């Protein structure tokens, strides 16, 4: 990192954009045609989101999703332990049922956010070069949102 390319936002900027379901590169919104269906390319900078199917792009989003779900579960478990210490814990069975439901609901709700966050990671790893993913940028000289 460190300003190799003038148009490249920092990793945290890109992650922040991804967490708001925006394009990590140009911050354009409206990247999804439905909750689970992402556009092939960014409407703002034409960045290609869908890599070749074998690239494990879904797996990346899945990994981010798993981390989010695990994080939420961890917070819930610690909250339960805290409440137990105060003798105010709800019945364990209820907690398990609610946590189990959360493990199903959280990944669904966070899926589009996870996708965008993963795109941010991908961009950071590939140094803003989307030519590897069939984009029109040339290696080492991604012009980003330029016309």
Q: Cβ of residue 109: shortest distance to Zn ion, in angstroms?
A: 23
DSSP state of 138: B
Taking CB under 5 A as the criterion, the residue among 22, 25, 48, 133 binding Zn ion is 25
Residue nearer to Zn ion on the CB measure, 14 or 23: 23
- Least separation in angstroms between CB 115 and Zn ion: 14
Rg (CA), the chain: 19
| Residues binding Zn ion: number (CB under 5 A) | 8
> Is 28 a residue that touches Zn ion (CB under 5 A)?
yes
Binding Zn ion (rule: CB under 5 A), the pick from 8, 31, 45, 116 is 45
Show the 3-state SS of 28-54. Answer: CCCCECCCCCECCECCCCCCECCCCHH
Q: Is 47 in the site for Zn ion (CB under 5 A)?
A: yes
Asked if residue 38 binds Zn ion (CB under 5 A), the reply is no
Distances (CA, A) of 24 to 44, 76, 102, 132: 11, 30, 27, 17
Query: Contact 44/28 with Cβ under 8 angstroms?
Result: yes
Positions that interact with Zn ion (CB under 5 A): 23, 25-26, 28, 42, 44-45, 47
């Amino acid at each position: 990192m460190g300003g190799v390319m003038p148009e490249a936002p920092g990793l945290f900027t890109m992650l922040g954009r991804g967490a708001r379901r925006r394009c990590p590169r140009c911050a354009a919104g409206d990247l999804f045609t439905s909750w689970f269906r992402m556009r092939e390319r960014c409407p703002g900078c034409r960045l290609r989101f869908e890599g070749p199917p074998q690239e494990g792009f879904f797996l990346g989003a899945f990994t981010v999703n798993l981390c989010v779900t695990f994080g939420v579960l961890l917070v819930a478990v610690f909250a339960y332990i805290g409440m137990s210490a105060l003798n105010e814990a709800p019945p364990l069975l209820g907690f398990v049922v609610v946590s189990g439901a959360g493990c199903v609901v959280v990944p669904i709700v966070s899926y589009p956010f996870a996708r965008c966050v993963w795109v941010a990671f991908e961009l950071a790893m590939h140094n803003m070069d989307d030519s590897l993913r069939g984009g029109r940028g040339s290696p080492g000289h991604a012009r980003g949102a330029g016309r």
